[in-house]
Structure 1
Amino acid sequence: MPHFKLFVLPGDGIGPEVMAEVEKIAAWLTREGIVHFDIERGLVGGAAYDVHKTAISDADMARAQAADAVLLAAVGGPKWDAVPYEVRPEAGLLRLRKDMQLFANLRPAICYPALADASSLKRDLVDGLDLMIVRELTGGVYFGEPKQIIDLGNGQRRAIDTQVYDTYEIERIGRIAFELARKRRNKVTSSDKRNVMKSGVLWDDTIRALHAREYKDVELEHQLADALGMQLVRRPKQFDVIVTDNLFGDMLSDVASMLTGSLGMLPSASLGEKGAGSDTRKALYEPVHGSAPDIAGKGIANPIAMIGSFGMALRYSFNLSELADRVEKAISDVLGKGLRTVDIAGGAKETLSTSQMGDAILSALQAGV
């Protein structure tokens, strides 16, 4: 039986509620002797600030570095709006990404047939949708320097954010996208703003050169980021793998998320480089949704994105693709039976609580053994 060290960061808001449903599944897998998880728990975000006055402690950062994979649920909330910028809840997530060198963010957008009517688009546009957005995560405008606000005097201020990319950063995210496409429908769409941004020119040049040098077997197309946003809501099923920078990936993945009907449905993975002579890599898995403080503690949050994130960990960190497929099938089977949480209720007369949805998915997983 394989053994893995899993570091769990429930975080804030609905985070502890949805994380509990993943821990149910991990505990069952361990009891059944399918795979053994040694689980450690830590604090991140506002929960960490309340205890340590920082968004993640050095000790928990060290545990994250030592784990085979990290699961994070959500950070933030109005309770911490007034804390200093450097220790705001989101700073814990940014530190994890930076210190673990998690440069590749994978955000799938999958529309289960049973939920096609929950999308804001017509059923025929989204039914069967399965695309992957690959977002560069540690470069670009979010990390570029200088980043500052300057007092110009006379009541005027100037804000500066810097978009910076080096060739190697673009190449390594490109390789992730091309390798994923080879296992899917063999098509990559590269997106930038080369018409107005020098970083976009370098992005486009680098992706084209990488494709010609190493991935000629993969279909490659290019779309400007604004045009791609339009195409996502016009004809989303034309896409397979979309690769783009940090800023555009942030925005486009949120657009893609609503094609599926709810942010509560979407998992994500953030991956680092493979170790020297190894197939393992640092990785963080988290749902796309936020901490949803308005419903925290009510037991009505949708745990599917968190469970889906665990499924991605099974696939990308633990090399258990068959088990990941079973988790995804369990989710699909539950939805196919008409079981819903409130965010995806549609016309359903009854909805499940967070724990009831977790139990239903676990039961479907058990039935498939």
Structure 2
Amino acid sequence: GAPRPEAGLLGIRKGLGLYTNLRPVQIFDALAGASTLKPEVIEGVDLMIVRELTGGLYFGKRERFYDEEGAGIDGAKGQRAYDTLEYREYEVERIARQAFEAARKRRGKVTSVDKANVLETSRMWREIVHRIGEQEYPDVQIEDLLVDNTAMQLINRPADFDVVVTENMFGDILSDEAAQITGSLGMLASASLGDSTALYEPSHGSAPDIAGKGIANPLAQILSVEMMLRYSFGMNEAADDIRRAVTEVLDEGWRTGDLKDAATPADKVVGCAGMGDLVVSHL
């Protein structure tokens, strides 16, 4: 329970009402070799994970205590802990609408991920997603997938997914799995959106072990600026310019340490500032 960066981030999301996380997962052709999956499996991967961000287990009531009365067949005493997974109808409705709106701008397919064979929250989730989809977005295809099967299918057929919508913890896990499809978590941007506020950040979290060394990959943060221009300001041409600049730098063979492989020449490996300068030069 000691203070951790995650606690601050959860507080920011809740305090600013950032209930939607958008995480695009796309393949840069120059980095296809960095993925652990076969080239033919990742070809054409272009999906968007829409994650509910302010509900579920991460924000539910939790407690850990010593059970004096004991439990079980032998009545053994010991520690007990619980975390509460709770969702309200309006929370599911609004994230579902975000997913359907995103799908309308893409390929028109939403995969709703849950654990409806076990969890009551997931059964409610599935019912509400279908109601919103059938009543308000009849032009968008809906697919239901259990979270464990989704984890397998993201590796088996990642190019088949368009928009994936799911609750907080499932989205946390699946989006990091999807990052490995691209070859590096350091390449994934994200947007956290509310009704009047937006926060743009890379997906990779903190890396205190490399702080001050100048070797971090800045591309996820730069691509987060691309998302900011696109989603908050409607500056699509400027956003396209950033995407194009990043693509050109990678196509020329420039890499940060997390992106290099055995075939990367030593003189093509640059640090954080060097990579940033290269992107600026291509802008």
**Normalising by the residue count of structure 2, what TM-score does the alignment of the two structures yield?**
0.94
Displacement after TM superposition at 1:349 (Å): 1.3
**Deviation for aligned residue 1:164:** 0.5
Given that 1:134 and 1:242 are in contact with CA atoms closer than 8 Å, whether structure 2 keeps it comes out as yes
2:184 is the counterpart of 1:269:
no
1:133 corresponds in structure 2 to 49
Query: How far has the Cα of 1:329 moved from its partner?
Result: 1.2
Aligned mates of 1:223, 1:89 — CA distance in 2: 32
Three-state SS of the structure 1 residue aligned to 2:194 is strand
Corresponding residue of 2:281: 363
1:304 aligns with 2:212: no
> How far does the alpha carbon of each residue in 1:329-358 deviate from its partner, in whole angstroms, 9 at most, with x for none?
111111111111111111201201111110
Out of 248, 262, 269, which is 1:333 matched to?
248
Specify the SS of the correspondent of 1:148.
Answer: strand
SS in 2 for 1:177: helix
What is the CA distance between 1:88 and its match in structure 2? 2.8
Superposition map of 1:202-281 within 5 A:
202-273=124-195, 281=196
Residue equivalent to 1:143: 59
Paired residue type of 1:203: W
Counterpart position of 1:107: 23
Root mean square deviation, CA, Å:
1.1
Matched, 1:122 2:35: no
Q: Distance in 2 between matches of 1:344 and 1:125?
A: 20
Report the Cα distance in structure 1 between the residues aligned to 2:270 and 2:63, rounded to whole angstroms. 46
Partner residue of 1:321 out of 199, 212, 236 = 236
Cα distance, 1:163 vs structure 2: 0.6
Structure 2: how far apart are the matches of 1:322 and 1:357?
22
Partner AA of 2:173 in structure 1: M
Where in structure 2 are there 5+ consecutive unaligned residues? 69-75
> One-letter code of the match for 2:274?
Q
Whether 1:286 aligns to 2:201 is: yes
- Identity level (%): 53
CA offset digits 1:300-332 (Å, max 9, x no partner)? 111000101111111111121221111111111
Contact 1:267 1:309 in 2 (8 A): yes
CA deviations 1:30-55 (Å, max 9, x no partner) are xxxxxxxxxxxxxxxxxxxxxxxxxx
Could you say which residue in structure 2 is the equivalent of 1:33?
Answer: none
Letter paired with 2:123: V
Shift of 1:155: 4.9
1:274-306 C-alpha deviation (Å, 9 max, x unpaired): xxxxxxx20111111122222221111110001
Deviates more, 1:122-131 or 1:335-344: 122-131
Letter in 2 for 1:339: W
Q: Pairwise mapping of residues 71-110 of structure 1 onto structure 2 (< 5 A)?
A: 85=2, 87-110=3-26
SS in 2 for 1:134: strand
Contact 1:102 1:270 in 2 (8 A): yes
For residue 143 of structure 2, give the secondary structure of its aligned residue in structure 1: strand
The answer (yes or no) to whether the contact 1:110–1:260 under 8 Å persists in 2 is: yes
| 1:201 and 2:123 matched | yes
Q: Secondary structure at the match of 2:44?
A: coil
Give the counterpart of 2:91 among 166, 169, 173. 169
**Partners of 1:302 and 1:254 in 2: CA distance:** 17
Please say if 1:353 is aligned against 2:271. Answer: yes
User: Which whole-Å CA distance do the structure 2 matches of 1:117 and 1:124 have between them?
Assistant: 11
The whole-number CA distance in structure 2 between the counterparts of 1:230 and 1:260 is 16
The answer on whether the counterparts of 1:103 and 1:272 sit within 8 Å (CA) in structure 2 is yes
Q: How many residues align?
A: 273
**Among residues 321, 331, 342, which one is paired with 2:257 in the alignment?**
342
1:112–1:128 Cα contact (<8 Å) kept: no
Q: What is the letter of the counterpart of residue 255 of structure 2? A: R
Unaligned regions of 5+ residues in structure 1, if any? Answer: 1-83, 274-280
TM (normalized to structure 1)?
0.72
Q: Deviations over 1:61-109 (max 9, x none)?
A: xxxxxxxxxxxxxxxxxxxxxxx63x43222211110010100011111
Q: Could you tell me which residue of structure 2 aligns to residue 158 of structure 1?
A: 80
Q: How does 1:8-87 map to 2 (within 5 A)?
A: 85=2, 87=3
CA contact (8 A) 1:113 1:128 kept: no
